[in-house]
Amino acid sequence: MSKIQNYRRGEFMKRIGILTSGGDAPGMNAAVRAVTRTALANGVEVFGIRYGYAGLVAGDIFQMTSATVADKIERGGTFLYSARFPEFAQKEVQLKGIEQLKKHGIEALVVIGGDGSYHGALRLTEHGYNAIGLPGSIDNDIPYTDYTIGFDTACNTAMEAIDKIRDTATSHQRVFVVNVMGRDCGDIALHVGVATGADAIVVPEEEYDIKEIAETLKQGFANGKKHGLVVVAEGVMNAEDFKNELLKYGDFDARANVLAHMQRGGNPTVRDRVLSSKMGAYAVKLLLDGKGGLAVGIENNKLIAHSILDLFDAKHQGDYSLYSLNKDMAK
């Protein structure tokens, strides 16, 4: 699949590039820092590529030093910026990106992003430029890794917001339906729902019954609770629509709230900073060993690397035991 050179601790490989692509995630900057400093420590020059694959094709490329990534580990977002660029699926566009890599003498690439970003990394590897993917996605929706970069921070951000919502919900004895991110993956809703003591969690992976949820809320109020909370993954239904459906089965004073893109921002947590640092350093080591077309992950607290091709045929498996756990505790 790839034209692999057996690089030995920087003996032959002199320059690598790094870009962030797709939706931003807290911890991306920490990963860029880890890649940069690990590469420099091994005698390899590092070039940053702004605006993802769009910047690669446009040649928005600059050399980075240790100072470039100073004071970046604590910052959210990505200082390399990001852009969605579906045109990179076209071979002629990929070849334009490769022309830019050749122009700057870049021999390998680290790509931080999600599914679409991985497709680009695979294409580059097939064209002879080894590329390693790092899982940057707050949704935690990438296979073969227990956690993605940004997931823990997004969960903490959502939890803190819902804690504040619960204060006002209690003051007015209201039910709040809160949308958290997760179009096709309910991991944020599962973790945040348990952490905030939600009466119900609604995710794409599990069937739900709005009437049953309404009965749970009624029983909670009958038992002396002063508020109700339903956490809904955005991919299931809009919070306002869910609230309206819920009101068909109960006379609640209800409100809908959408947390939306606030979950992408903020300083990364300790867990995300450490995870990003470990993954970034591991990506460089893989490239130094001449490997490409791989996606880095972490399973059972151990770093792993799978063929990117494997990821396209697999589906992330969340901890769905949290769903039944929460149902039991909400009774």
Residue 50 annotated as binding site = no
Residue 166 annotated as binding site = yes
Residue 52 annotated as binding site = no
Residue 15 annotated as binding site = no
Residue 265 annotated as binding site = no
Report how far apart, in Å, the C-alpha atoms of 300 and of each of 297, 303, 304 are. Answer: 10, 9, 10
Is residue 310 annotated as a catalytic residue, yes or no?
no
Residue 113 annotated as binding site = no
Residue 225 annotated as binding site = yes
Residue 117 annotated as binding site = yes
Query: Residue 34: which of 275, 269, 271 has the closest Cα?
Result: 275
Residue 182 annotated as binding site = yes
Query: Residue 16: which of 219, 280, 284 has the closest Cα?
Result: 284
Residue 264 annotated as binding site = yes
Residue 36 annotated as binding site = yes
Residue 227 annotated as binding site = yes
| Whether the Cβ atoms of residue 303 and residue 188 lie closer than 8 Å to each other | no
Phi, psi (degrees; rounded to nearest 5) at 109: -140, 145
Question: What's 90-142 look like in SS3?
Answer: CHHHHHHHHHHHHHCCCCEEEEEECHHHHHHHHHHHHCCCEEEEEEECCCCCC
Residue 28 and residue 76: Cα distance in Å, rounded? 8
Residue 234 annotated as binding site = yes
Residue 44 annotated as binding site = no
Residue 199 annotated as binding site = yes
Residues 6+ apart with CB under 8 A from 49: 17, 18, 19, 55, 56, 60, 61, 80
Residue 168 annotated as binding site = no
Residue 219 annotated as binding site = no
Query: b/e for 131-156, b at 16 or more Cβ within 10 A?
Result: bbbbbbbbbbbbbbbbbbbbbbbbbb
Catalytic entry in 24, 139, 141, 187: 139
Query: Residue 44: which of 98, 80, 79, 7 has the closest Cα?
Result: 7
Query: Residue 108: which of 92, 127, 90, 95 has the closest Cα?
Result: 127
Binding-site residue numbers for ADP are 33-37, 166, 197-199, 225-227
Binding-site residue numbers for ATP are 23, 84-85, 114-117
Binding-site residue numbers for Mg(2+) are 115
Which residue numbers are catalytic?
A: 139
Binding-site residue numbers for substrate are 137-139, 174, 181-183, 234, 255, 261-264
Binding-site residue numbers are 23, 33-37, 84-85, 114-117, 137-139, 166, 174, 181-183, 197-199, 225-227, 234, 255, 261-264
